[in-house]
Structure 1
Amino acid sequence: MASSTSFPSSLFLFIFFFSALLSQTLSIPSPPHKTYIFRIDAQSKPSIFSTHYHWYTSTFAPPTQILHTYSTVFHGFSATLSSSHAASLLSHPSVLAVFEDRSRSLHTTRSPQFLGLRNQRGLWSDSDYGSDVIIGFLDTGIWPERRSFSDLNLGPVPARWKGQCESGVRFSPSNCNRKLVGARFFNQGHEAAARLAGGTGVNATIEFRSPRDADGHGTHTASTAAGRHAFQASMAGYAAGIAKGVAPKARIAAYKVCWKDSGCYDSDILAGFDHAVADGVDVISISIGGGNGATSPYYLDPIAVGSYGAVSRGVFVSSSAGNDGPALMSVTNLAPWLTTVGAGTIDRNFPADVILGNGRKLNGVSLYSGKQLVGKMFPLVYPGKSGGLSSSLCMENALDPRVVRGKIVICDRGSNPRVTKGLVVKNSGGVGMILANGISNGEGLVGDPHVLPACAVGADEGDAVKSYVSSTVNPMATIVFRGTVVGVKPAPVVASFSARGPNALSPEILKPDLIAPGVNILAAWTDAVGPTGLDSDTRKTEFNILSGTSMACPHVSGAAALLKSAHPEWSSAAVRSALMTTAGINDNRFQLMTDESTGKPATPYDVGAGHLNLDLAMDPGLVYDIGNQDYVNYLCSIGYNPKTIQVITHMPVTCPLKKPSPGNLNYPSISVIFDGSESGYVSKMFIRTATNVGPVNSIYKVKVELPAKGVVVSVKPAKLVFSELVKKQSFAVTVSANSKNLSFDESDVIYGFLSWLDGKHVVRSPIVVTRFMPL
C-alpha cells in the first residue's frame, strides 16, 4: 500500500510520483497546461523577499499564473503551468511536493431530538446551545436570508474572529450578521480548470460569483449543524414542525469552495482550510470527498493535509464518509486526525404505497407534493423488459413516448439521478413512476421531491412489481402518498449508501469513526433552484429534505460545537473520543443496529464506534487524547520519512529511533489485522492511554465482549485508578488467536467491544479482528 511504503529520500518520492503523473499525461490527450499545487518549505525563504508571495512570483511562477497562496494550514501555492514547467520546479530545493489539482464531489427537524437533545437541560443547556463557537463550512456557500440564520437575541460576534464577509454577485457584507459571521468564496481553481477546458469560468446563468449558494447543499449543511429555531417549517408539508440545528447558537462562517457546474477543486478546498483556520473557526465541517484523494496517500491528499493543519491548531474537523456503500472499503476521508461520519436513519419516514391491479400493496417512500392520483388506476409498463439497459434506467432520450404515454413507468435505480428519471418519464408523457432498487441498493430507500407522482421501492418490491407486469395481460397500478410518519422502528438503521470500511490506506485505523442521522433530513434551502435541483424545477421552498453522508457530517460538526462550548479545554481528539466512546450500538427496539442493505446486524465497518448519542457525550468519563507528536509518530510508523511528513505537518519533524507500531496510535477503537500467511498461535499488543475527565477519584474496571471462537483478549491492568495526582493511565490490550480455530463470518471480520466501567460511565471502544490485510 502507498501509505506503508518506505522510500530512501523525499526527492525520489516526489520525482517518482510526478514521473508517474507525467506518464499518465502523455498516454492520453491533455491540454498543454494544468493546475498544480506546490508544497514549499516556507522556512527556506530568502530574506531578500518581503513576503512568501513575492518569493513565489519571483522564483517559481509569474503572478498571472498563480491562483492561491497558502500560509496557515499549508505553505505553498497553486498555479496553472505547463507540465514541463511544473516538472522543472521539482529540482528546486525548497519544493517539497507537487500534485495536480483534482475535482471532488459533494457527499450529498427531528434529528436533534433523535440524538437525545432536549430544551433547557442536558448538553444544550450546559453548552448554552453552542454559543460563541464558530463553525466553518467548506461547501457551496449559503443563502443568508433564511430564518435558520437569524441573529435574534445573539450576543456580539466573538472578539477573536478575524474573518470577512466578501462582496460579490447578490452578496454584500450586510448579508452577514451576528449569526453568519463570515462568508468567503474561492473559485480560482474552478475557473482555471474551466479555461483549460475551453470555457470561460463561472457560468453566470446558473452560479453566483460570490458566497451565495446556487446549489443548496451548503445552506442545508450549515443549518443542519447550527440553524436557529424556525417554527412551522416543512418541505411542502412533509416533516412539519420546528426546524433547528444541533448547535442553534453556534456562529456560522461559509467558505464556498464548491461550484454547481464543476464540483470542488483541491486548490480551492485548500484555500478554504487556510482562511478558515486563520479567521478563527473552532470547527470545520466538510461534506466533500472522492476524487484522487479517495485512496491517495495523506501527503498527496489536500483534504488530509489541510485538515491536519487545522487539527494541529485545535480545530475539530468533521468529514463525510462517502455515499458508495454498501461496498466494503468504500469509505473516504481516511486520515486519523479527521472525524469521518457515516449515515443512519432516524425514526421518521415518508411512506407511499404502490397498489397493483391485483390488489397487492407494495411499501415505498416519496416526497412528492403535487397533484395526487387519488386512487385512480393507470396502465403500468416496464420499459426495460424490451428496451434495453438505458430504457430500464430511464436515461435521457431512452423512453419511447408511444410506449409510456399515460402510464406509470417502472425505472431501475442507478446511473442518472433519481429525480432526473422522473423528469424523463414526465417529458415522455408518463403519469407516474415507480423507482425500483437493484440488488446493490437492497431495501434502502430515500425520499425525493419528484416532479411527478413517484414512489421508491426496495429491491424485493421492485422484483414483485416487475413480475406482476410480466405475468399480467393488462397490468395496472396507482400510487398513494401517506405524508409524514414519526416513531418508526427500527431506528437508527445504517443507510445502504453509507460508505463502509475497512480503511484502504491505514487498516489499523477503523473508519468510519461513527454514524449520525443522514437520511431524509429537513434543513434550509436556497431560492436558486427547486427542491429537486433540476434546472426545470421552478418551485421555491425554504426547507428541503436530503439524504447522504453530507447530511450526517454536520450533525457531528454541531455536536463538536456543543462539546467545545461545554469543554473549551478539550482537544479535538478528546472531543472525537467523547463522541465515539459514548456512541450507541442499539436501535430504538433495544436491539443491535442493523444494516439496511442486508437486514443483518451492523458491524464496526458499517458504523465505526456506533451512532452519535449526545445524551452521553458531554460526560464520557474517560477520553483517548492524541497530540501532534502522536500523529507524527503514526506517520513514521507507516513508512513516511521526515521530509514526506513535513508536507503534512507544515514543520520539520524527527521520527523516533525505534519505529513505532501503527496500532499504538491512541485511537478510541482497535483494529487487529492477522495476515493470511500467519499460522499457529499469534498475538498482537496495543497500547492505549485513558485521560480522566470525570470525577477526580475514580476507579474503572475493564469489560471485554468478543463472542468469537479462537480469539482471546486480555487487558493489563484490568483496573484503572485515578486520583488528584493521577489523571492518565496506560494499559495494554493483547489480542491472541490460534489461526486454526479462527471462526470468521463471510466478511472475514470478527468484532466486539472493550469497555471501561465505573458504575456510571461506560467508555466503549470497538475491537475489529480481520483475517487479511486489505489490498
Structure 2
Amino acid sequence: MAPVQFNRLLLFISFLFSIIIGAPATADQTTKTYIIRIDRFAKPSIFPTHYHWYTSEFTDSLSILHLYDTVFHGFSASLTKSNLDSILQHPSVLASFEDRRRNLHTTRSPQFLGLRNQKGLWSESDYGSDVIIGVFDTGIWPERRSFSDLNLGPVPSRWKGVCQTGVKFTAMNCNRKIVGARFFVKGHQASGQIGGPGGAINETIEFLSPRDADGHGTHTASTAAGRYAFQASMSGYAAGIAKGVAPKARLAIYKVCWNQAGCFDSDILAAFDAAVNDGVDVISISIGGGDGISSPYYLDPIAIGSYGAVSRGIFVSSSAGNDGPSGMSVTNLAPWITTVGAGTIDRNFPADVILGNGRKLSGASLYAGELLNGKMYPLVYPGKSGTLSASLCMENSLDPNFVKGKIVICDRGSSPRVAKGLVVKKAGGVGMILANGASTGEGLVGDAHLLPACAVGSDEGDAIKAYVASASSTATATINFRGTIVGIKPAPVVASFSARGPNGLNPEILKPDLIAPGVNILAAWTGAVGPTGLDSDSRRTEFNILSGTSMSCPHVSGAAALLKSAHPDWSPAAIRSAMMTTAFVLDNRFKNMTEESTGKQSTPYDFGAGHLNLGQAMDPGLVYDLTNDNYVNFLCSVGYNPKTIQVITRWPVNCPARKQSPENLNYPSISALFPSQIGAASWSKTFIRTATNVGETNAVYRVKVESPAGVTVVVKPGKMVFTEKMKKQSYVVKVTIENSKGGLVLGDSGAVFGSISWSDGKHVVRSPIVVTQMDTF
C-alpha cells in the first residue's frame, strides 16, 4: 500500500476508534437518526467497497440503518450528539441532516385528460406497456382487479428488482403487473428512540411488508397505472370503468410510509437508492413536508434522491402539497422534480341542505347509508355558545343532551373531516353539515361519511349559521343526496387546497409546474380499512374516492409513462416540457380557469403552466431540454458552493468563474424578478431559452407575445427555422418595466402574468411569464 493511502487509513481507523470508545459521556446522549453524506472518492483503496468502508469498524456501535450508494453516498444511523460531532470532523464527511418525518399529500379522469381508446397517446404508446413506474407510498393491496396482469407480456428484462416478502405478502403477490415490491422501515423504527410517532410496528393496524394498511398507496398506484375494472364504483358513486392513466405500465412498489406514523427521510432516500438500481423509468412520490416549508435542496432527501434519479434519465413527479390557497405554500421545489398541483374534473357528488325556511344550499357528499328521505330535524351549531373544540366537533367536545336527534353544524379544521362526523354520531346526532372556513373558501371534496353529512362552502356555512341564530330553537334542516353528476361546469377549477406559488426557495423557477385531476378521484382501495380510514368504519370497498395533490401526482406519473413509451429517447426534462407547453389554461366554458376558494380567475402561481392535456403532449413540436450540467450551473447560480453541490450531485463540481443567472435555466416558464425600488426610467432583464425541435424535420415557428400588464416583452428572433441539421435554436426574451408608464402595478397575487407562444401552424408551444418585484416575497 502506498504510504499516503496507509496514513489515510490509519487516520480513518483512529477516527472511528475515537467514536466507539473515546466519546465523552458528558455530551448530549440523546439518540437521534441522522443521514451522513460521505465523499465517496475518499474511500481508502484497501476497502473493496463503500459498504466495507462504512461497516468494517463500527456497524454495531453506531446502529447503521441504511447504506446509500446510488443516488446518494453515505449512511443513516442512530447517533448521539457527541457521535455526530465527531463524525462531522472527518474530512470525508460532506454533510449531515437529521431524519425528518414527512406526510402524505392526501373513473373519469383519464377521459378528462384527453385520453381515448384506440387513438392518440394511449394507442401510440401501447398504453404505457413495459414502462415501470416506481410508487413511493404506503404499499399496495395486490388482489384488486386494477393490478391484474392478464394479457400483459413478460416482465421487462432490464428489471433488476425483487418481490420482498413479509406479513401477508408473498412472492405470489407480485406478477407481470406488480413487478416488484419492497418496504423500508428502519428509519421509522429508529424514530421511536426520540419519542416520535414511529418505533415498533403496531401489527394490529399495520403489515410489516409491502401490503397496504392505509389505502393511500393502493389508490395512487392504480391512478397511475390501474388496469381496466368494469362496474367499478365507491358504494354506487362514480360508477363506470375504472382505469389508470397508463393501464399497461408496470408497477414497482416502495413502501416508505406507515399507517399513523408518516414517512421518514432516511427510508425515502433508501427507496430512491433501490428504485434507481432496480430499473424504474418513472418515480411517483406523493409525499412532502406538512407545513408548506421547504428545506434547501442539499438538506432535502427528496430533492437529493430525485436528482440522483433524474440524472440517470428517470422522470420524477411529486405532489405540490395541500396547504393552499395560501401563497408560497408549494413544496418539492427542486427544478429537476415535476411538481404537480390539483384541479377538479367535470364530475361531482352534490348534496343539498334544505333549511326549515325553505332555502336550499348546495354542498357535496359521498354518504351511501340510510337516507333522511326529506325528514326535517332540529339544527344546532355547537359553536354558537360552546367552546372552540365544540365548534370543530373534536373528540369528546359535544354534549349529547345538546346534539341528540339533531343535525349538527361542524366547522372544518384541526381534525379529519370524517372524524367529526363520527364524533357527532357518538354523541347521538343524526346528521352533520361540515362548514368551510374563510381559509378554505368554497372548495368542496366528497367524503364517505358514517352518518348523513354534507360539506358546504364558507358562504353557505355562514348562511346556515345565520339561520340557526335567527330561528333559535325552531331551526330545522334535512340533507338530500343527489348521487353522481357528470358534465359539471366550470372544470377544471384549481382546488382550494392545492399549494400555491411563488417558489419560496428560488422564485426564479415557477412552481408548481402544472396541475392535474386531484379532486374526488376514484381508484382502488385497501381491504384493511373502510373508505374513511377510521378504526370504527367496518365497511370494505374495492374502490374509494379521495382528493389531494397526492391524487394529481400519479396522473402525471402515468402521463410520463405514456410519453416515455411513445418517446423512449426523451429526457425527464423533455417529458415535463411537453406536458407544460401543451397544458391548457381555459376551462370547459372556454374561459380562463378559476380558483375554487374565491371563484376568481386563477394565475400561474396557482396552476403553473396550466392543466395537463395529454391529447397534445405526445406531439408538442418543441421541447426545452436540460442536462445534468444545466442543473449544476443553476445550483452554482443560486450561491451553492462546490462542496454543497456535491451533496446533491455525488460528483465534485467546479462553478464557472462568471456567475450565471438562475433565471436562465432552460425551463419551460419564465419568472422575472425586479428590485423593489427602480430608480431608473426603465429596468430590463434578459432571458435565454433553447428550443429543440421534436416535430416535423423542417419547420418554421413564429412567436406570439402576451405581455403582462405594465410590462414590455420583446422576443428575438421572432422566427425560428428548424431543419434536419438545425434541430436546436436559441432565442432571447427581454422583459422591461417602464417607470415612465407608471411602473409595475401588481395584482392580489403580488405579480403580473403573460406568456410567449411559438407556433408553426400545427403546434402551439406556450410558456407562462411571471413578473414581480423582490419586496413581494
TM-score relative to the length of structure 2: 0.95
CA offset at residue 47 of structure 1? 1.6
- What are the within-5 Å matches in structure 2 for residues 115-514 of structure 1? 115-197=113-195, 201-290=200-289, 294-473=293-472, 474-514=474-514
CA offset at residue 148 of structure 1? 0.2
Residue of structure 2 in register with 1:11 after alignment: none
SS of the counterpart of 2:191?
Answer: helix
CA offset at residue 63 of structure 1? 6.3
SS of the counterpart of 1:62?
Answer: helix
CA offset at residue 78 of structure 1? 0.2
CA offset at residue 291 of structure 1? 5.4
Contact kept in structure 2, 1:637 and 1:659, CA below 8 Å: yes
Residue of structure 2 in register with 1:103 after alignment: 101
Compared CA separation, residues 605 and 31, structure 1 to 2 (3 A): farther
Partners in 1 of 2:485 and 2:591 — Cα distance? 21
Residue of structure 1 in register with 2:13 after alignment: none
- What are the within-5 Å matches in structure 2 for residues 543-622 of structure 1? 543-622=543-622
Compared CA separation, residues 373 and 381, structure 1 to 2 (3 A): same
In structure 2, the gaps of 5 or more residues are 1-25
Give the partner amino acid of 2:758: W
Partners in 1 of 2:130 and 2:679 — Cα distance? 56
SS of the counterpart of 2:756?
Answer: strand
Partners in 2 of 1:706 and 1:611 — Cα distance? 21
Structure 1 residues 483-536: Cα deviation after superposition (integer angstroms, max 9, x where no partner): 000000000000000000000001000000000000000000001110000011
CA offset at residue 61 of structure 1? 4.8
Give the partner amino acid of 2:518: G
* 285-294 vs 119-128, greater mean Cα deviation: 285-294
Give the partner amino acid of 2:553: C
Give the partner amino acid of 1:668: P
Partners in 1 of 2:290 and 2:306 — Cα distance? 17
Structure 1 residues 413-464: Cα deviation after superposition (integer angstroms, max 9, x where no partner): 0111100000000001100000000111110000000000000000010000
Residue of structure 2 in register with 1:700 after alignment: 701
Contact kept in structure 2, 1:522 and 1:543, CA below 8 Å: yes
Residue of structure 2 in register with 1:16 after alignment: none
Contact kept in structure 2, 1:282 and 1:316, CA below 8 Å: yes
Runs of 4 or more, structure 1, over 4 Å off, are none
Give the partner amino acid of 2:243: K
2:743 pairs with 1:745: no
Contact kept in structure 2, 1:33 and 1:82, CA below 8 Å: yes
* 649-658 vs 71-80, greater mean Cα deviation: 649-658
Contact kept in structure 2, 1:68 and 1:188, CA below 8 Å: yes
Structure 1 residues 683-713: Cα deviation after superposition (integer angstroms, max 9, x where no partner): 000100000000000000010112512x100
CA offset at residue 770 of structure 1? 1.1
Give the partner amino acid of 1:495: A
Give the partner amino acid of 1:120: Q
CA offset at residue 365 of structure 1? 0.3
CA offset at residue 747 of structure 1? 2.3
Partners in 2 of 1:627 and 1:120 — Cα distance? 34
Give the partner amino acid of 2:234: M
Compared CA separation, residues 750 and 200, structure 1 to 2 (3 A): closer
CA offset at residue 745 of structure 1? 1.5
Contact kept in structure 2, 1:293 and 1:301, CA below 8 Å: no
Contact kept in structure 2, 1:502 and 1:774, CA below 8 Å: no
* 631-640 vs 744-753, greater mean Cα deviation: 744-753
Partners in 2 of 1:247 and 1:45 — Cα distance? 43
CA-based RMSD: 1.4
SS of the counterpart of 1:143?
Answer: coil
Structure 1 residues 121-176: Cα deviation after superposition (integer angstroms, max 9, x where no partner): 00000000000000000100000000000000000000000000001000011100
Partners in 2 of 1:528 and 1:124 — Cα distance? 33
Partners in 2 of 1:102 and 1:741 — Cα distance? 44
Compared CA separation, residues 241 and 252, structure 1 to 2 (3 A): same
Compared CA separation, residues 669 and 59, structure 1 to 2 (3 A): farther
CA offset at residue 80 of structure 1? 0.2
Give the partner amino acid of 2:102: R
In structure 1, the gaps of 5 or more residues are 1-25
Partners in 1 of 2:292 and 2:384 — Cα distance? 39
* 725-734 vs 672-681, greater mean Cα deviation: 672-681
Structure 1 residues 593-632: Cα deviation after superposition (integer angstroms, max 9, x where no partner): 0011111111000000000000000000000000000000
Compared CA separation, residues 327 and 177, structure 1 to 2 (3 A): same
Partners in 1 of 2:237 and 2:562 — Cα distance? 28
CA offset at residue 104 of structure 1? 0.4
Partners in 2 of 1:31 and 1:182 — Cα distance? 40
* 273-282 vs 648-657, greater mean Cα deviation: 648-657
CA offset at residue 677 of structure 1? 2.5
Compared CA separation, residues 646 and 774, structure 1 to 2 (3 A): farther
Compared CA separation, residues 60 and 648, structure 1 to 2 (3 A): farther
Q: Work out which of the residue numbers 755, 758, 761 in structure 2 matches 1:756.
A: 758
Q: Work out which of the residue numbers 111, 114, 117 in structure 2 matches 1:113.
A: 111
* 283-292 vs 304-313, greater mean Cα deviation: 283-292
Partners in 2 of 1:772 and 1:437 — Cα distance? 33
CA offset at residue 679 of structure 1? 2.6
* 62-71 vs 565-574, greater mean Cα deviation: 62-71
Partners in 1 of 2:428 and 2:29 — Cα distance? 43
Structure 1 residues 23-47: Cα deviation after superposition (integer angstroms, max 9, x where no partner): xxx9xx9971000000111111112
Contact kept in structure 2, 1:753 and 1:766, CA below 8 Å: yes
CA offset at residue 59 of structure 1? 5.0
